[in-house]
Amino acid sequence: MSQTGRHEQERTRLSQSELNQALIRHLAYRRGRSGGQRANLKLCDLSHLDLSGSDLAEADLSGAKLYSTRLSSANLGGATLYGADMRLANLERANLEKADLRGACLRGAVLSDANLIDADLRDGTLMHWDRATGAMVQHEHSSEQLTTELTAALARGANFTRAKMANAFIMQTDLSDAILRGTKFMRANLTNSNLMGCDMSDADLTEANLSGARLQGAVLTGAAINRANFQGATLIGAILDSIQLTSPAIQGAVMAQSLEAAGANVNELLAAHIAWIDSGGRIGKRADLSNLDLSGHELSKANLSAAVLTCASLRRATLVEASLAISEISLADLREADLTKADLRGVNLERATLTGATLFNAQLGPVHIQTATGQIWRANLSRARLNECNLRGADLRKADLKGANLVCADLRGANLRDADLQSADCNGAWLDGATLEGANLADARGLRLPR
Q: pLDDT tens digits, residue range 250-308?
A: 999 999 998 888 888 999 999 999 999 999 999 999 999 999 999 999 999 999 999 99
How high is the pLDDT of residue 126?
46
- C-beta of residue 220 within 8 angstroms of C-beta of residue 201: yes
pLDDT number for residue 3: 44
* Backbone dihedral angles phi then psi of residue 273, each to the nearest 5 degrees: -70, -40
pTM exceeding the 0.75 threshold for the entire prediction: yes
Q: Name the architecture of domain 256-451.
A: 3 Solenoid (2.160)
Task: Identify the pLDDT of residue 133.
Answer: 57
* Cα–Cα distance measured from residue 292 to residue 296, given in angstroms and rounded to the nearest whole number: 12
Show me where the domains of the chain are located. Answer: 256-451
Per-residue pLDDT in tens (0 to 9) along the chain, 451 residues: 444 444 455 788 988 889 999 999 999 999 999 989 999 999 999 999 999 999 999 999 999 999 999 999 999 999 999 999 999 999 999 999 999 999 999 999 999 999 999 999 998 654 444 555 555 444 443 344 567 889 999 999 999 999 999 999 999 999 999 999 999 999 999 999 999 999 999 999 999 999 999 999 999 999 999 999 999 999 999 999 999 999 999 999 999 998 888 888 999 999 999 999 999 999 999 999 999 999 999 999 999 999 999 999 999 999 999 999 999 999 999 999 999 999 999 999 999 999 999 999 999 999 987 666 668 899 999 999 999 999 999 999 999 999 999 999 999 999 999 999 999 999 999 999 999 999 999 999 999 886 6
